[in-house]
A and B are shown apart, each in its own frame.
Chain A
Amino acid sequence: MSGDDSIVFIVDDDQSMREAITRLLGTVGLRVQAFKTAQEFLGTKRPDHPSCLVLDVRLPGLSGLDLQREVASVDPPIQIVFITAHGDIPMSVQAMKAGAVEFLTKPFRDQQLLDAVQQAIARDRAARDQLAELTAVRRRYESLSPREHEVMTLVVTGLLNKQIAAELRTSEATVKAHRAQLMHKMEAESLAHLVRMAERLDLLPPRR
C-alpha cells in the first residue's frame, strides 16, 4: 500500500498502546517512530519525510493539546491524529479547530486510524511539495539580475513591452531581451505561469 519513505510518529504514554499502534501501522508498511512523552518528541530531530503524528490527548507533563499548540508554528505544520480514552466534545472541537486531521476515541477501529493516518500523510506530502516548489521558485528568482527583477515586476503587472521600455527609459528591444532571459531563468512556460510564481513570491501590488 505504501512503499514510500513516509513516517508516522506516535506519542502515547501507554507502552501497550504504542506497541499495538506500531504493529498495526506496520501491517500496511508504514514506518513508525514512537515516543513516551511530548517532550521526548519535541527533543528529537525528525527526518525530513512526509509524516504525521498520532497523539494521545492525555499525557504526563505536556498534554496532547499543549503539544499541538507548541508545534503550530512549524512549517509545514505537523498533521495530527488525536486518540483519547475519554474525550469530550469541547476537547475534540478545540483540537479540530486547531487543525487536527481526526479525533479518535479509544478503542478505535483499525481502518479509522489507518484512513486518518493516510489522509494526514497525504496532507503533509502536499504541503511539503508546495513548500519545496516555493523554495525552488525563490531560488530561481534570486538568480535574476537587478534589471531582470525590475522587468519581471512590471511584466507581471500586465504592462506591454513598450510601456515597460518607457517606464525604464530604455528601448523596447532591450526589454524584449530581458523578458526572454527572465522567462528562461524562472522556467516559466507562459506569462500566466510567471504571474502565479510572482504571486507566491508576493511581487504583485495589492489589488485595487
Chain B
Amino acid sequence: MTQRQSDPSVRTKNAERQHSNVSDRKGAEDALAREILNNTGNLILLKDAEGRYLFVNRQFERTFHVRQEEIRGKKDEEIFPPEQAAAFQANDLEVLKAGVPMEFEEASLQDDGPHTSIVQKFPLINTNGKVYATGSIVTDITERKHAEQALRESEEHYRLLCETATDAVISINENGQMKFVDPATASAREALVRADVGVAFAAEDGLRVILQACAESMVRHFDAALARIWIVDKDRNVLELQASAGTDTDLDGTYSRVPVGFFEIGLIAKEQKPLLIDNGFRDPRILDGVWARNQGMVAFAGYPLLVRDSLVGVMAIFSKNSLSTKTLDALASVALAIAKGIGQKRAEEAWQSTQAELARVARLTTMSALSASIAHEVTQPLAAIVTNGDACLRLLESDEPNLAETREAVTSIIRDARRAADVVARVRALLKKSDVERSTLDLGQLIRDVLALVQPAVATHRIVVRMSLSDDLPPVRGDRIQLQQVLLNLLTNAIEALCDVADRRRDLVISSHRHDVGPDAGVLVSMEDSGVGFDRVNVNQLFEALYTTKPNGLGMGLSISRSIILDHGGRLWATPNASYGASFQFFLPAWKGQKP
C-alpha cells in the first residue's frame, strides 16, 4: 500500500473553505459544487471522526448500490466485507492522526470483480483546529493496472516463448490452455523484438553477434527489408557498421564506416534525433535515393542509440512498405532497449577489464617485491659461482695449475649452487603459504581494532565518532588482513572527506548489525559521514581503479576494497546521504560452519 504526504498548507485552505461565510455567492457555489460532486467519475465521500458516513456522491451510490439516505451514519463494516472495511478504516485513521492529506492505494470488490483505486484522503478541520471528519476522492485505476499487468505478462510470455521458438507464437492463459496470438499488431511485434533483444544481450556473446541477432529480429518482425546497426567510435567520430540483416548482410560495404554528420546515418548521430523518410525516396536531397527506389524500398527509419543522452550508435531500417505510426513507436522503443543493452554491455566490459588490470597490478606489485628478494637471495650464490668459475679457468690456464686451489673453488661452486636451489625451494614454499588465509572473525572487534589505528587522525580533525555495533553479529569467515585493509580504507576516506568540512559537525557513524538476505544471514557494516560526499553521477566511477577525487590519491583503494569484499562473497556499495556526506556499506555473508 503506497502513501504520500502532501503539502500541509492544504489543510488551512480546506479549513477556510469549510468555514467560509461569504453568503451572497454561497447559493450559486453550492449548486456548482453539487454538479461537480454528482457528475464526476470519481467516488467522493465524507466520514466523521468515528468513521460514520456523512456524505457520498452519486458515483459512489451507483458503484456500491447504496443510497445517500441509507448509508448516512453507518460505518464501513456495515457496508463492506470485513477485510476491506478494516483497510479503509486503517487509512482513515492515518489521516486523522497525521492531520494532513494523504494518498493510498485501496482495493474494493465491485460488481465486475476487484477494483484498484488511488484514494486521496484529507482531514476536515474545525475552527478549534480539531479534525472532525475525513474526506476521500477515489480514482479507479483498475483498467490501467490491468493494462500494466497484461503488458508485463505478455512481455514475460513472449520472452519465454522466444527463447524456444520464434516461428509460432503461442500464449498460455490462466487455465493452462494454449491460444495463438496474432502477431500482426505493432505492440505484439514490438514485444517479440524486445524479447529477442533481451535474449541476445543476456547471452555471453560479443557485441557484434548480439547486434546481428537484434537486426535479424527487426527484419523478421518489423517488415524491414534491411536492418542495420552502427556503433560510434568516439575517438575517430565515426560510425562503424556492426550488424546488417535482410537484403544486404555485407558489413564491409559502402556504409561500413560513416563519419558522424555525413549521410543520413551520420546526421542522425550528429543531431541525436530520429529520421523518417516515408515518401518513396523521391526527395532529391536523399543520398542513395535511386538505390533505395531500385531496391523497391518505400520507407526508411533511423534512430540514434542513446545511453543517458550520450550517443552509442545508430539503428536504421529500410522497408518496402510504408511504416505505420505504431511501428515507428515500436522501433523507437526497440532502439531504447538496444541502446540500454549496449550501455550495460560496455559497463560490464569496462568492469571486467578493470578487474583484469587490477589483478595485473597486484601481480606486478607482488612480483617486484618478490624479485627484489630473489635478487638478494639467489644472485649472491650465483655471482659467487660465476666468480669461482672464472677463477678456476684462470687457475687451470696457468703453467703450473694450483690444483688444491682449483678443487676448493669447485667445492665452493657446488656449495653455492645448492644454496641457490634452497632459496628457490624456500620462495616456492612462501608463495604457497601466501594464499589467502581465512579464519572465523569477529567483525565488531575488527572495527574497533582499525578504529584504534585512525584514532590520532580522528582526534586531530575533531571528528565525532559514534559506534553502533550490534552484539549478536553472526561470525564471518575471511582474511583478517584484507578485511582490515577494507575497513581502514573506508575509515580513511571518511576522515579525509570530513577534514574539509567547516560549517557543520564532523560526524562519523560506524554501525554493524545482522542483516539477512533471504535465508542467508550476514553482517552489514556501514560508515556514514557528514563529509563532502560525492556526486550521484559519479557513483559508478567511485569503484573504478585509478579513479580519484583526492589530489594525492592513487584511486586504487575503493577498487581494491570492492574486490576484497566480492572475494569474500559480499557486496560493497556507496550512497550519497540525503543531507551531507556519503555512506559506504558492505555486506558479508555469515560463516555457516564447516561443510559436512
Let me know if A149 is at the binding interface, CB within 8 A: no
Task: Give the CA-CA distance A125 to B495 in the complex, in Å.
Answer: 63
Contact with B along A3-20 (1 / 0, CB 8 A): 000000000001011011
What residues of chain B lie closer than 8 Å to A20, measured between beta carbons?
A: 383-385, 387-388, 391, 409, 412
What residues of chain A lie closer than 8 Å to B85, measured between beta carbons?
A: none
Let me know if A85 is at the binding interface, CB within 8 A: yes
Contact A85 B394 (CB under 8 A): no
* Nearest-neighbor residue (CB-CB) of B371 within chain A: A86
Distance of A117 from chain B, by nearest CB (Å) = 13
Contact A110 B379 (CB under 8 A): no
Task: Give the CA-CA distance A109 to B391 in the complex, in Å.
Answer: 11
Contact with A along B35-57 (1 / 0, CB 8 A): 00000000000000000000000
Contact A110 B394 (CB under 8 A): yes
* Nearest-neighbor residue (CB-CB) of B413 within chain A: A20
Q: Report whether over half of chain B's contact residues are helix, strand or loop; otherwise say mixed.
A: helix
Distance of A59 from chain B, by nearest CB (Å) = 12
Contact with B along A83-119 (1 / 0, CB 8 A): 1011000000000000000000011111001000000
Contact A106 B391 (CB under 8 A): no
CB proximity to A under 8 Å, residues B488-523 = none
Contact B394 A24 (CB under 8 A): yes
What residues of chain A lie closer than 8 Å to B409, measured between beta carbons?
A: 20, 23
Task: Give the CA-CA distance A102 to B412 in the complex, in Å.
Answer: 26
Task: Give the CA-CA distance A113 to B390 in the complex, in Å.
Answer: 11
Contact B395 A86 (CB under 8 A): no
CB proximity to A under 8 Å, residues B219-275 = none
Task: Give the CA-CA distance A3 to B386 in the complex, in Å.
Answer: 26
Task: Give the CA-CA distance A20 to B410 in the complex, in Å.
Answer: 10
CB proximity to B under 8 Å, residues A8-62 = 14, 16-17, 19-21, 23-24, 26-28, 58
Known: A23-B405, A86-B372, A86-B375. A16 touches B391 (CB 8 A): no
* Nearest-neighbor residue (CB-CB) of B392 within chain A: A23
Known: A23-B405, A58-B376, A107-B382. A17 touches B398 (CB 8 A): no
Contact of A107 among B372, B387, B419 (CB under 8 A): B387
* Residue in B375, B387, B398 whose Cβ sees the most chain A Cβ within 10 Å: B387
What residues of chain A lie closer than 8 Å to B439, measured between beta carbons?
A: none
Known: A16-B419, A27-B398. A106 touches B380 (CB 8 A): yes
Contact B391 A24 (CB under 8 A): yes
Task: Give the CA-CA distance A21 to B415 in the complex, in Å.
Answer: 16
Let me know if B381 is at the binding interface, CB within 8 A: yes
Contact B375 A85 (CB under 8 A): yes
Contact B412 A19 (CB under 8 A): yes
Task: Give the CA-CA distance A27 to B406 in the complex, in Å.
Answer: 11
Contact B390 A14 (CB under 8 A): no
Contact of A16 among B372, B375, B394, B416 (CB under 8 A): B416
What residues of chain B lie closer than 8 Å to A26, measured between beta carbons?
A: 391, 405
Contact B372 A14 (CB under 8 A): no
Contact B395 A17 (CB under 8 A): no
Task: Give the CA-CA distance A128 to B408 in the complex, in Å.
Answer: 36
Contact A106 B412 (CB under 8 A): no
Contact with A along B363-380 (1 / 0, CB 8 A): 000000000100110011
Contact A16 B380 (CB under 8 A): yes
Known: A14-B384, A19-B384. A85 touches B379 (CB 8 A): yes
Task: Give the CA-CA distance A21 to B416 in the complex, in Å.
Answer: 14
Contact with A along B413-442 (1 / 0, CB 8 A): 001100100000000000000000000000
Contact B379 A16 (CB under 8 A): no
What residues of chain B lie closer than 8 Å to A17, measured between beta carbons?
A: 380, 383-384, 387
Contact B387 A14 (CB under 8 A): no
Distance of A166 from chain B, by nearest CB (Å) = 70
What residues of chain B lie closer than 8 Å to A58, measured between beta carbons?
A: 376
Task: Give the CA-CA distance A83 to B386 in the complex, in Å.
Answer: 14
What residues of chain A lie closer than 8 Å to B388, measured between beta carbons?
A: 16, 19-20, 23-24
Contact B387 A21 (CB under 8 A): yes
* Nearest-neighbor residue (CB-CB) of A25 within chain B: B391
Task: Give the CA-CA distance A182 to B384 in the complex, in Å.
Answer: 58
Contact A14 B380 (CB under 8 A): yes
Task: Give the CA-CA distance A108 to B388 in the complex, in Å.
Answer: 11
* Nearest-neighbor residue (CB-CB) of A12 within chain B: B380
* Nearest-neighbor residue (CB-CB) of B382 within chain A: A107
Distance of A41 from chain B, by nearest CB (Å) = 19
* Nearest-neighbor residue (CB-CB) of B405 within chain A: A23
Known: A19-B412, A24-B391, A110-B394. A85 touches B376 (CB 8 A): yes
Contact A85 B390 (CB under 8 A): no
Contact A27 B382 (CB under 8 A): no
Distance of B413 from chain A, by nearest CB (Å) = 9
Known: A20-B391, A27-B394. A107 touches B379 (CB 8 A): yes
Contact with A along B145-158 (1 / 0, CB 8 A): 00000000000000
Task: Give the CA-CA distance A20 to B388 in the complex, in Å.
Answer: 5
What residues of chain A lie closer than 8 Å to B398, measured between beta carbons?
A: 27
* Nearest-neighbor residue (CB-CB) of B372 within chain A: A86
Task: Give the CA-CA distance A23 to B419 in the complex, in Å.
Answer: 20
Contact of B391 among A27, A83, A86 (CB under 8 A): A27
Distance of A103 from chain B, by nearest CB (Å) = 14
Contact with A along B44-83 (1 / 0, CB 8 A): 0000000000000000000000000000000000000000
What residues of chain A lie closer than 8 Å to B382, measured between beta carbons?
A: 106-107
What residues of chain A lie closer than 8 Å to B380, measured between beta carbons?
A: 14, 16-17, 85, 106
What residues of chain A lie closer than 8 Å to B385, measured between beta carbons?
A: 20, 107
Contact B379 A24 (CB under 8 A): no
Contact A106 B383 (CB under 8 A): yes
Known: A14-B384, A107-B386. A23 touches B391 (CB 8 A): yes
* Residue in B381, B386, B391, B394 whose Cβ sees the most chain A Cβ within 10 Å: B391
Task: Give the CA-CA distance A14 to B372 in the complex, in Å.
Answer: 17
* Nearest-neighbor residue (CB-CB) of A16 within chain B: B384
Contact of B412 among A16, A108, A109 (CB under 8 A): A16
* Nearest-neighbor residue (CB-CB) of B373 within chain A: A86
What residues of chain B lie closer than 8 Å to A28, measured between beta carbons?
A: 394
What residues of chain A lie closer than 8 Å to B408, measured between beta carbons?
A: 23
Contact with A along B182-222 (1 / 0, CB 8 A): 00000000000000000000000000000000000000000
Chain A residues in contact with chain B, CB under 8 A? 14, 16-17, 19-21, 23-24, 26-28, 58, 83, 85-86, 106-110, 113
Q: List 9 A-B contacts (CB under 8 A).
A: A16-B384, A16-B419, A17-B380, A17-B383, A20-B391, A24-B387, A24-B390, A27-B391, A58-B376
Instruction: Supply 16 further A-B pairs (C-beta < 8 A) apart from A14-B384, A21-B387, A108-B383.
Output: A16-B380, A16-B388, A17-B380, A17-B384, A19-B384, A23-B391, A24-B388, A24-B390, A24-B391, A24-B394, A26-B391, A26-B405, A86-B372, A106-B380, A110-B390, A113-B387
The 9 closest A-B pairs by CB, nearest first: A106-B383, A110-B390, A16-B384, A20-B387, A107-B386, A85-B379, A107-B383, A86-B375, A27-B394
